[in-house]
Amino acid sequence: MKFSIRALAPERAKTACLVLGVFKGTTPAQSELTPAARRADRAARGALRAVLAKGDLSGRAGSTTLLRQVTGLAAERVMLVGLGAKDEFTENSYRDVIRSVANALKELGVREATVYLVGHKLPAHDLAWNLRQATLGLRDAFYAFDQLKTEKKGPPPALAEITFALPAAAVPAAAGRALREAEATADGVALARTLGNLPSNICTPGYLADEAKKLARQYKLRLEVLERRDMERLGMGALVSVTKGSHQPPKLIALHYAGGAKSKKPVVLVGKGVTFDTGGISLKPGAEMDEMKFDMSGAASVLGTVRALAGMKAPVNVIGVVPAVENMPGGGASKPGDVVTTMSGQTVEILNTDAEGRLILCDALTYAERYKPDVIVDIATLTGACVIALGHVVSGLFANDQKLADALRAAGDDAWDRVWQMPLHEDYQEQLRSNFADMANIGGRPAGSVTAASFLARFARKQRWAHLDIAGVAYKSGREKGSTGRPVPLLVRFALRHAGGRAA
Ligand code: BES
Ligand code: MN
Ligand code: ZN
């Protein structure tokens, strides 16, 4: 899908579908036309108002109605979309509106459309924000994962071109840049979604390494892939222990995007890449176990973010590190009570083989030290406890540096891919006490997501480090089951803001 932005009088837009916003009034007749809609209505001698007066549009955010062949307008069709009440127009309503428009355009089957919605600014955001949200929302709605179905639902959606239009006003220079950023981000989100959606018999650790290879080739990036023997040589006893029950060879992937000055220390993103989490010998119950194919969503978000930043030529240095393994039971698998030595030298008693994410991440965090990172952020579907605490709205944020935490929260608010900070007091470390090793890999029922983060914190003491627990946000269950691509939008925003710049 191609996106562009231009200043254009709505009555003159020669388009298959002209999309105009309408704020809800106390009665449909009292709906308030947005400036572009007002202008179009004037050119059409009141044809839009007449439709509203008949009550054809509820005005609720995301409601739509369609008019054809309106005299006075160059467009073939007009789609009126309700924005909700003007004084209740929020980020969520803007996003709902975009999603509804996307679905209505999909239904309509037009090849292109001209959309007058990005001019409706929210108090806390600028035009660039609206453009990013609209682009990501449209691309998200048109994303399909049907490569494993033999019978496609029908022809692929026709929509190929979207023009975001502003009535008359000139287009600021920053708008084009925002669009390119958003398109590259959407590419990253799509990659993350597809990797997440692929089943574990296809998306194995080796598959993730191959995907990194493709990115390295496409964007000319440096790539390292460590094999099991490399991990053993480096003393990554925790990482290797998780993979012992599996027939899939583990991979430790490091993908380097160097878009910033050589002197700039990199942002290192570490993504949990458990391509399937059975729980191991501490086997998970059967219900919804299929969803554990999404346990590599952190890894997918890291690869998606690198793709986005490379695609937009962002002036940042980012290294994506992905420990990729499959967690299986088997004759060689780790057993509860086993003690392993991590690359840091600290020993861990594996009391539960289902707490495997922290075991692969701890060695990846130690490995990341060699890059002398400015900051490290790990991203992981780490705990069910985080889902209980925060649900599916925000990611759990933990950090040993408050500035870094604030920067991530701000980036999340900006991207509308939000996080909520959780505690990380030393007091929680007590729960990880072990009689037989330096620490246990579980901390009991209370504060499960906090003790998981506290475990990781022991391997990031020398670093400015943050951890995002994305167990609740990375994918949806039920009818809508599928990967969301979160938190790619957050990570891209964070990297760009961290560099203090924008895409080139
Ligand atoms: N991958 C799971 C966490 C998870 C659970 C993600 C549900 C998404 C939805 C992780 O490896 C895990 O199994 N964690 C255990 C930790 C426990 C054994 C301390 C959990 O959350 O139950
Ligand atoms: Mn697990
Ligand atoms: Zn897991």
- Please report the domains of the chain, with CATH numbers, ordered by start residue: 2-167 (3.40.220.10), 183-499 (3.40.630.10)
What integer pLDDT is reported at residue 212 of this predicted model?
99
What integer pLDDT is reported at residue 56 of this predicted model?
93
CA-284 nearest atom, ligand 1: 13
CB 268: neighbour CB atoms within 10 A?
29
Mutate to test the pocket of ligand 1, among 354, 428, 469, 476 (most ligand atoms within 8 A of CB): 354
pLDDT tens readout for residues 133-153: 999 999 999 999 999 999 877
Would residue 358 show up in a list of annotated catalytic residues for this protein? yes
DSSP state of 153: S
What integer pLDDT is reported at residue 459 of this predicted model?
99
Say yes or no: CB of residue 275 within 6 Å of ligand 1. Answer: no
| Cut 0.95: pTM above it | yes
Q: Kindly name the residue from 293, 358, 458, 493 that is annotated as catalytic.
A: 358
Q: Is 201 helix (H, G, I), strand (E, B) or coil?
A: coil
191, with CB counted inside 10 A (0-12, 13-18, 19+), is: buried
What integer pLDDT is reported at residue 51 of this predicted model?
95
CA–CA dist 451, 455 (Å, integer): 6
Between the CA of 186 and the centroid of ligand 2 the distance, in Å, is 29
Say yes or no: CB of residue 472 within 6 Å of ligand 1. Answer: no
What integer pLDDT is reported at residue 118 of this predicted model?
96
Between the CA of 25 and the centroid of ligand 3 the distance, in Å, is 49
pLDDT tens readout for residues 426-452: 999 999 999 999 999 999 999 999 999
Q: Which amino acid is at 336?
A: P
For residues 272 and 357, the answer to whether their CB atoms sit within 8 Å is yes
Say yes or no: CB of residue 356 within 6 Å of ligand 1. Answer: yes
Alpha carbon of 345 to those of 44, 136, 243, 439: distances in Å? 75, 44, 19, 12
What integer pLDDT is reported at residue 21 of this predicted model?
98
- pLDDT < 70 regions, the chain: 501-504
What integer pLDDT is reported at residue 156 of this predicted model?
84
Q: Is the dihedral of CA 279, 283, 284, 286 positive or negative?
A: positive
What integer pLDDT is reported at residue 154 of this predicted model?
79
What integer pLDDT is reported at residue 446 of this predicted model?
98
The tokens for 316 are 């940042």
The tokens for 367 are 């490995």
Say yes or no: CB of residue 469 within 6 Å of ligand 1. Answer: no
The residue whose CA is least distant from atom 3 of ligand 1 is 383
